[in-house]
Amino acid sequence: MLSIGELSRATDCKVETIRYYEKIGLMPEPARSAGNQRRYGERHRDRLHFIRHSRQLGFRIEAIRELLALSDQEHRDCAAVDALARRHRDAVDDRIGALCALRDELDRMIKGCAGGDVAHCGVIEVLGDHRLCRNDHPLEAVAGKQ
């Protein structure tokens, strides 16, 4: 059995994050020692690795909750897992497209800046008037909000 500090070191996950995952129900309640300390087993470590890896791949908490629930049903058809992963991949594709458009717009703004003083700066001019942009670049697409 591991203490929360040992679990934190074993998974490279902050103690506060482990407690947060417990609070929101992603991590099961750990056993308690006679001194009321949390005691974690291999199941907790494996689940925390799963959560951390899912977060590194950009899955949102609710999607991880669904994936964990599905992973607990070992004999179930994995079509729901596949569908969830495909939706996430499609959202990543959307963000990539938005980021590419954003990069192109920034390149155009930078090329439009002829130097000189700020009063005649093309970057400042475009930033001050969205109508001068060639592409729409909603923050939601760039930031990954869905």
pLDDT higher than threshold 60 for residue 134: yes
The confidence score (pLDDT) of residue 25 equals 94
Report the SS3 class of residue 2.
strand
pLDDT higher than threshold 70 for residue 145: no
pLDDT higher than threshold 70 for residue 140: no
For residue 124, CA distances in Å to 31, 49, 113 come to 58, 45, 9
The confidence score (pLDDT) of residue 89 equals 97
Distance, first Cα to last Cα, the chain: 39
Report the SS3 class of residue 16.
helix
Considering the chain, what percentage of its residues have pLDDT values greater than 70?
93
Question: What average pLDDT does the structure give for the chain?
Answer: 88
The confidence score (pLDDT) of residue 44 equals 95
* CA neighbor of 5 nearest in space, from 24, 30, 23: 30
For residue 141, CA distances in Å to 47, 55, 101, 104, 146 come to 30, 18, 11, 15, 8
The confidence score (pLDDT) of residue 146 equals 42
pLDDT tens-digit readout, 3-41:
999 999 999 999 999 999 999 999 998 989 888 888 999
The tokens 């058809």 sit on which residue?
A: 77
The C-alpha atoms of residue 37 and residue 41 are separated, in whole angstroms, by 13
pLDDT higher than threshold 60 for residue 144: no
Band of residue 139 on the pLDDT scale cut at 50, 70, 90? low
* CA neighbor of 24 nearest in space, from 71, 78, 60: 60
Pairing between strand 31-32 and 38-39? antiparallel
Q: Which range has the worst mean pLDDT, 44-53, 82-91, 93-102?
A: 93-102
* CA neighbor of 138 nearest in space, from 78, 95, 91, 89: 95
- Better-scored residue on pLDDT, 81 or 108: 81
